[in-house]
A and B are shown apart, each in its own frame.
Chain A
Amino acid sequence: MNNSGTIYGINGPVIYLKGETALKMSEMVHVGDEKLVGEVISLDSQTTTIQVYEETGGLRPGETVESTGAAVSVTLAPGILNNIFDGIERPLEMIAQEGGAFISRGVSVDSLDKTRKWETHLTVKVGDRLTPGTIIAEVPETRAILHKCMVPPDVYGQVVSVVPDGEYTIDETLVVIELRDGSKKELTMTQQWPIRVPRPVHHRYSASVPLVTGQRIIDTMFPIAKGGTAAIPGGFGTGKTMTQHQIAKWSDADIIVYIGCGERGNEMTQVLEEFGELEDPKTGNPLMDRTVLIANTSNMPVAAREASIYTGLTLAEYYRDMGYDVAIMADSTSRWAEALRELSGRLEEMPAEEGFPAYLASRLSAFYERAGMMQTLNGATGSVSIIGAVSPQGGDFSEPVTQNTKRFVRCFWGLDKSLAYARHFPAINWLTSYSEYVGDLSGWFTDNVSPKFVDYRNRLMTLLNQESSLMEIVKLIGGDVLPDDQKLTLEIAKVIRLGFLQQNAFHKDDTCVSLEKQFRMMDVILYLYKVSRKLIAMGMPMSVLKSEGIFERVIAIKYDVPNDNLQLLDMYKKDIDDFYNNVIAKNA
């Protein structure tokens, strides 16, 4: 048996080798004379099946397939951030330098720049005992992020020599250690890790800290924890990508991994341009400094689309191991599922629901379970949060990808077509969405924002739910016949919808809002509700209350109160008191 083979059949991105080969499952191979990258996906005594990550046009039966001996892996070292890769970690900038504006095939480029010298500070000394995950060196990778080079998992040993601080490339030996069996091993900044294997951790923590996104409907209504999982399903045009962009821009994660999986090329270009210019609200550096983009646009080969999700996830886990909070935006997981379906169809596997393979659910669960807040091997705490967009066919949430995703995520932000049509953004439907983290995070909100935070949130939700049942009646008989207290409920719910839930991503103050402002906005809205209820109870009609214009003023808080001048919010309470006195004075 040899570890190479000869092409027998070609069917789109799938190729077949005849006879027995020594290739291993998930091994990376080079296919044909152009050395296209491929992966072994099934083996039996007659046939080896390989999926190819590049266009297969031009391949001939009889060309050879060479083994590389390793599973499809990514290179982990400084240089990942502020970079854009394709689905198998090839830097698109380098590909462009080699091949111009269009991505040609068989391009062989290094994942990371091997010539660049990084300023390195060594953190171990001769005699230190190293265990997996021990930080051996620190490299300021970007202005915002200190890259911590670690001992790979499974390596134990004692340091026998260390280079002095200085400038090194990612392949130069920094530390030499003696392993337990007495042999020597050279450690560089670089690690290789197979993309389909989760990186090991010490143990998992339960969710307790929110990932603050600056988006009111998310932070207040349906919060996600650091290390949590969320799905954003929605038909086209409902704002999935927009919501993901907003979270990528404003969330308080340290690192963002943005996976454009089977989506539009222009969107990736937009992220590149925009994130290069926008400032990180925490550090003032360009957002790209904390971002890595994985771009496999819809017209790139389908097999690499399937891999892109795992590539992104592995990069995220690597930064988590350094003790960072990483958030993954996967846009969109449906395209990934469709890539599975496409390949499964080519392999003539028995289809389950809607042509998707039966293993769709297990793949999805394995993907989302790689999220979590972890104690890493070196004792630090880091997290990977996954926010996956889902593009259900026809906007119908009963389809298999949405349904299976729902089983494995704890946060569901359902986007609603009718909200999007009315340009209510973010178009997250407050009645169908949920977050299982509300309870887990209530302690944090109590300690860090206000003890009343969760209570206020629940009161807003109650009002919104009451509105929805009242609207059933209004739809049948009109709003005029409702008693005044119910009219007030509708009016306050409108204030909540327009003034609180709706958020303008293009407004400089409204695009990202601190938890404190969110809380105080709720406070003002609920105060208005309390005062109005008192007036209604005295028999004042709703029409009188509305004529004072206070409801419109509270709705406009999001625009009128700048984020750096929250004292203005105190004024509103005074205005509401004035409103109360005015109504009494005029109508007594």
Chain B
Amino acid sequence: MAIEYLGLSSINGPLVILEGVQDAFFDEIVEFVVDGNTRKMGRIVELYEDKAVIQVFEGTENMSLVNTHTKLSGHPMEVAVSPEMLGRTFNGIGQPIDGLGPVNTEYRKNVNGLPLNPVKREYPRNYINTGISAIDGLTTLIRGQKLPIFSGNGLPHDQLAAQIVKQASLGGDSDEDFAIVFGAMGVKHDVAEFFQKTFDESGVADHVCMFLNLANDPVVERLITPRVALTVAEYLAFEQNMHILVILTDMTSFAEALREVSSSKGEIPSRKGYPGYLYSELATIYERAGIIEEANGSVTQLPILTMPNDDITHPIPDLTGYITEGQIVLDRSLYGQSIYPPISILPSLSRLMKDGIGEGYTREDHQDLANQLFSSYAKVGEARNLASVIGEDELSPIDKKYLEFGKEFENRYIGQGPAENRTVIETLDLGWELLRLLPKEELDRIDTKIIDKYYKE
């Protein structure tokens, strides 16, 4: 049934309309041949009897109403999956671009995936030691979690992600099958290169599968890139029993691409011009993380998104925060003070932390200690506000202590070297050391017994 359709009835941005099609189905992949030589791919996004609205992944450049041949592929968007994909580099729709030829497998999977049945999920409980105090101590990353980094342009989110990859992969779990799936949507060449270099240097390059849709690559392709990356991740995790860390950068470009396509379809916009289904679209990506009962592997997601104008209430970070299990927020003023990693801890959060720490996982005092550090650091902010009005000299002695605690906390606890790898016990002990700058009465979040045990050491 390889009917070829000649010509198109309209072209509008990344969308083309084809009439007179027979037997097409919703979400089907079509192949175009332009001018007899250029090949392109597209996906049916709307269907009315014999009229199909098709989204062209590579963009509609050079296509005209007469020079295009269209063929229905008879299947939805699929990607070939194989363990051999580790160590390889692909474009945004899963075609190899490293010159090593096609992936040698017949096994293909639908990139849209299917929702995981909650009864078959296993609740994530094992923490990943990243060696970064602000994360291990306060926003612990759990295997199977989705924990995005909310960043801004010019902040060191890439370095942070690279450090996490390096230190987490070389941690105590290195004997287990560990691999990284890297999906880049609309990032700059330098960023892709930076990651490639980091993976090479840390000796994990043959455990990395990269999907690159760079800033000058077609916009529509970006809508597929995270799905392709996650399909491969799910395959490696649930069929090959590997522990997969998925890095997706930059989710903002993904959402922008969605808006672009939505507006050329003439859809009714909701907030800031984004389509009403932005939440559902983001959810179908982020929810593809976790652990299932019948496999030993796991998918952990570390998406990176740059907040437009550093605004955390912008729809993209906002909706992301409602889906993901916490967030790590980077802060420009900390970065301005040369504190690396500039993690703003108050808005940062790991929802799964509470079940993966404490006795049997890290140490019994972890939760109380973290609560106290959060609470005390929140008071530092109040003391600073007051100092900016009445001057530091006029502060009460206790407020002065808070200022000192705040400074030490930012420099020594949050701040650490880009190659510094701290154990979780070091992080916890450092937390107590800093709390000792404050009088015991101020520690109101900690069980009395735990204070007695750790405060006086």
B-contacting residues of A (Cβ < 8 Å)? 8-12, 16, 18, 55-62, 84, 92-93, 95-96, 99-104, 235-237, 260, 262, 264-266, 268-270, 272-273, 295, 297-300, 302, 335, 338, 341-342, 344-345, 348, 351, 354-356, 391, 393-396, 417-418, 421-424, 474-480, 498, 506-507, 549, 552, 555-556, 559-560
Pick the residue among B120, B354, B370 that contacts A100 (CB under 8 A). B120
Tell me the bound Cα distance from A61 to B295 in angstroms.
Answer: 38
Q: B49–A265 contact, CB under 8 A?
A: no
Partner-binding segment picked from B55-63, B152-160, B244-252, B371-379 = B371-379
3 nearest A-B pairs in the assembled complex, by CB-CB distance: A394-B313, A355-B270, A298-B283
Q: Taking the nearest CB of chain A, how far is it from the CB of B396, in angstroms?
A: 5
Query: Which residues of B383-437 have CB atoms within 8 Å of chain A's CB atoms?
Result: 385-386, 389-390, 394-396, 399
Q: A60–B25 contact, CB under 8 A?
A: yes
Query: Known contacts being A58-B76, A60-B25, A338-B279, is A506 close to B119, with CB within 8 Å?
Result: no
B122 CB-CB contact with A under 8 Å:
yes
Query: Known contacts being A57-B76, A395-B313, is A9 close to B119, with CB within 8 Å?
Result: no
Tell me the bound Cα distance from A56 to B28 in angstroms.
Answer: 11
Q: B448–A560 contact, CB under 8 A?
A: yes
Q: B115–A354 contact, CB under 8 A?
A: no
Tell me the bound Cα distance from A476 to B388 in angstroms.
Answer: 10
Query: Known contacts being A298-B323, A393-B313, is A101 close to B268, with CB within 8 Å?
Result: no
B277 CB-CB contact with A under 8 Å:
yes
A-contacting residues of B (Cβ < 8 Å)? 23-28, 46-50, 76, 112-124, 144, 238, 267-271, 275-277, 279-280, 283-284, 286-288, 290, 292-295, 312-315, 318-319, 321-323, 325-327, 346-347, 349, 351-352, 354-355, 367, 370-371, 374-375, 378-379, 385-386, 389-390, 394-396, 399, 441, 444-445, 447-448
Pick the residue among B27, B119, B379, B395 that contacts A93 (CB under 8 A). B119
Tell me the bound Cα distance from A8 to B25 in angstroms.
Answer: 11
Which residue on chain A has the smallest CB distance to residue B287? Answer: A299
Query: Known contacts being A299-B284, A393-B315, is A12 close to B48, with CB within 8 Å?
Result: no
Q: A101–B48 contact, CB under 8 A?
A: no
Q: Taking the nearest CB of chain B, how far is it from the CB of A135, in angstroms?
A: 32
Query: Known contacts being A264-B325, A298-B279, A421-B347, is A61 close to B49, with CB within 8 Å?
Result: yes
Q: B349–A237 contact, CB under 8 A?
A: yes
User: For chain B, what secondary structure do more than half of its interface residues adopt (helix, strand, loop), or is it mixed?
Assistant: mixed
Q: B270–A354 contact, CB under 8 A?
A: yes
A269: B residues at CB distance < 8 A: 118-119, 121-123
A235: B residues at CB distance < 8 A: 321
B374: A residues at CB distance < 8 A: 421-423
Tell me the bound Cα distance from A103 to B116 in angstroms.
Answer: 6
Q: Taking the nearest CB of chain A, how far is it from the CB of B44, in angstroms?
A: 9
Q: A59–B117 contact, CB under 8 A?
A: no
Q: A237–B396 contact, CB under 8 A?
A: no
A354: B residues at CB distance < 8 A: 270-271
B50: A residues at CB distance < 8 A: 61
User: For chain A, what secondary structure do more than half of its interface residues adopt (helix, strand, loop), or is it mixed?
Assistant: mixed
Q: Taking the nearest CB of chain A, how far is it from the CB of B259, in angstroms?
A: 13
Tell me the bound Cα distance from A253 to B165 in angstroms.
Answer: 47
A-B contacts, 11 of them at CB < 8 A, read: A96-B120, A100-B120, A102-B113, A103-B114, A236-B322, A265-B115, A299-B116, A338-B276, A354-B271, A423-B445, A478-B395
A480: B residues at CB distance < 8 A: 394, 396
Which residue on chain B has the smallest CB distance to residue A102? Answer: B114
Pick the residue among B116, B268, B318 that contacts A393 (CB under 8 A). B318
Which residue on chain B has the smallest CB distance to residue A419? Answer: B378
Q: A272–B48 contact, CB under 8 A?
A: no
Q: A104–B114 contact, CB under 8 A?
A: yes
Residue among A101, A273, A295, A477 with the highest chain B CB neighbour number at 10 A: A101
Which residue on chain A has the smallest CB distance to residue B279? Answer: A338
Residue among B123, B124, B349 with the highest chain A CB neighbour number at 10 A: B123
Tell me the bound Cα distance from A343 to B411 in angstroms.
Answer: 50
Which residue on chain A has the smallest CB distance to residue B113? Answer: A102
Which residue on chain A has the smallest CB distance to residue B24? Answer: A60
Which residue on chain A has the smallest CB distance to residue B441? Answer: A552
Tell me the bound Cα distance from A552 to B112 in angstroms.
Answer: 56
Q: Taking the nearest CB of chain A, how far is it from the CB of B245, in angstroms?
A: 17
Q: A265–B121 contact, CB under 8 A?
A: yes
Q: A477–B390 contact, CB under 8 A?
A: yes
Pick the residue among B112, B118, B268, B399 that contacts A272 (CB under 8 A). B118
Q: A103–B287 contact, CB under 8 A?
A: no
Pick the residue among B27, B267, B268 that contacts A57 (CB under 8 A). B27
Q: Taking the nearest CB of chain B, how far is it from the CB of A50, in angstroms?
A: 13
Tell me the bound Cα distance from A341 to B355 in angstroms.
Answer: 35
Q: Taking the nearest CB of chain B, how far is it from the CB of A322, in angstroms?
A: 26
Tell me the bound Cα distance from A61 to B50 in angstroms.
Answer: 8
B238: A residues at CB distance < 8 A: 101
